Amino acid sequence: MLAGKRKAAWVAGVGMLSVAKILENMELGHNIIHGQWDWMRDPDIHSTTWEWDFVAPAAGWKHTHNDLHHTYTNVLGKDSDVGYDLLRVNPDQPWEPQHYFNVPLNMILAPFFEWGIAFYDLEIPKFRTGEVTREEFQEGLKALGRKMVKQAAKDYTATPLLAQAVSGSGKAAFWGTFAANTVRNLWAHSVIFCGHFPDGVDVFTEEMIDGETRGDWYVRQMLGSANISGSALMHLMTGNLSHQIEHHLFPDLPSNHYAEIAVKVRDICARYGLPYVTGPLHKQISQSWRTIAQLSVPGSGTQREGAQVLPLVALA
């Protein structure tokens, strides 16, 4: 009886901590680091001072995500978020032998997503080609080392020690924190993959954005992103990244306004014949994983069913 109560309490604790970590990462961290609340001039929630509960240092993530991904959304050769230097997620990506392991690699990446992002932000492929200098790489590596030590000290040393001192539950706290981090990682991985890899989302070549106007840029954001339909709770738990299209159009707009402008964005897409890719979470996830599986074999270079290649034209 007592053991059952302890197990139930542990599960409840993991659930609450998972929710807290998801909200800190998605609703707070992602949006704050984007500068959505910088206009308040509050140093506690400013993009230059916030460091999130995520092993990836905020500074490195701001570069690869804010500077590169949001500027060159889904542009092959410019936006490494297309596969994260690891997976083949679009048929226009050249097939390499490592892509045989697309599915198992993604299965490893999902529960350890924060670690994948942390090493991805080091831009190791660019370091190998000389685009990132040794000094820049070493600086990023040191920053990652400092953040790893800080996170490990908080999650796997201080928290278990405190729990042990208060209730003798240090071991349970250790594994509970690990479980909550895993849940948060699985959720973040699912939400982010649903934003760019479901059917109907396009990728672009560097030639296609040559001479791109500001209007073309906005069109590319709509063509290269996908939403997740759902309830207000869904939008909260995704940090409104369920409105990925609107987020890519206005990345520094406070995310609580995305639902409001989504109606107008969808109307614009309908008027100009542009796709507005959206669907429930289970549909977007299944499409993303199916595509990753299909593209793991050589010769699977046919454009995905449902994807549309449209010329980039400014909305007149």
Nearest 5°: CA angle at 204, between 300 and 192? 80
246 in a domain, yes or no?
A: yes
How many residues are listed for the chain in this entry?
A: 316
139 pLDDT band (50/70/90 cuts)?
very high
Model confidence at 20: pLDDT above 70 = yes
- How big is the CA angle at 66 (ends 198 and 32), to the nearest 5 degrees? 100
> Is residue 304 in some structural domain?
no
DSSP-assigned beta bridge partners for residue 278: 227
Percent of the chain whose predicted confidence (pLDDT) is above 90: 92
Is residue 69 included in any domain, yes or no? yes
- Of the pLDDT bands very low, low, confident and very high (cuts 50, 70, 90), residue 1 is low
Q: Which pTM was predicted?
A: 0.92
**Helix extents (H) in 110-168:** 113-120, 124-129, 134-153, 159-167
Single out the residue of 312, 315, 313 nearest to residue 74, CA to CA: 312
**Residue 8, C-beta contacts closer than 8 angstroms, at least 6 positions apart:** none
**Does residue 242 have a pLDDT over 70?**
yes
What pLDDT is stored for residue 5 in this prediction?
84
How much is the average pLDDT of 20-43?
A: 97
3-state secondary structure at position 59: helix
User: Tens digit of pLDDT for each residue in 163-220?
Assistant: 999 999 999 999 999 999 999 999 999 999 999 999 999 999 999 999 999 999 999 9
How far apart are alpha carbons 219 and 275 in whole angstroms?
10
Does residue 148 lie in a domain region?
A: no
Q: Can you give the residue range of the structural domain that contains 274?
A: 13-120+179-294
At 249-273, the pLDDT tens digits run: 999 999 999 999 999 999 999 999 9
In a domain, 224, yes or no: yes
The verdict on residue 149 lying in a domain is no
Residue 279's contacts (CB-CB under 8 Å, 6 or more residues apart) are 198, 226, 227, 228, 229, 287
Indicate whether 301 pLDDT > 80.
Answer: no
Extended beta strands in the chain, E state: 227-229, 278-280
If you count DSSP H runs as helices and E runs as strands, how many of each does the chain have, helices first?
14, 2
What backbone torsions phi and psi does residue 75 show, to the nearest 5 degrees? Answer: -95, 115
What mean pLDDT is reported for the chain?
A: 93
Whether 137 is in a domain gets the answer no
Task: Mean pLDDT check: name the lowest of 68-82, 233-247, 279-293, 299-313.
Answer: 299-313
Q: What is the pLDDT of residue 306?
A: 38
Query: Cα 57 to chain center, whole Å?
Result: 14
Contact (CB, 8 A) for 31 and 193: no
Whether 283 maps to a domain, the answer reads yes
Work out the average pLDDT over 50-77: 95
Beta bridge partners of 280: 229
Residue 290 has, within 13 A of its CA and on its CB side, a CA count of: 10
Q: In this structure, which amino acid lies at residue 202?
A: D
Quick one: pLDDT band at residue 316, thresholds 50, 70, 90?
A: very low
169 contacts: CB under 8 Å, gap ≥ 6 = 163
* Cβ 216 vs Cβ 209: under 8 Å: yes
Please tell me the total count of domains within the chain: 1
Q: Are 275 and 291 in contact (CB under 8 A)?
A: no
pLDDT class of 3 with cuts at 50, 70, 90? confident
Helices (H), 168-231: 170-194, 214-223
Does 309 score more than 80 pLDDT?
Answer: no
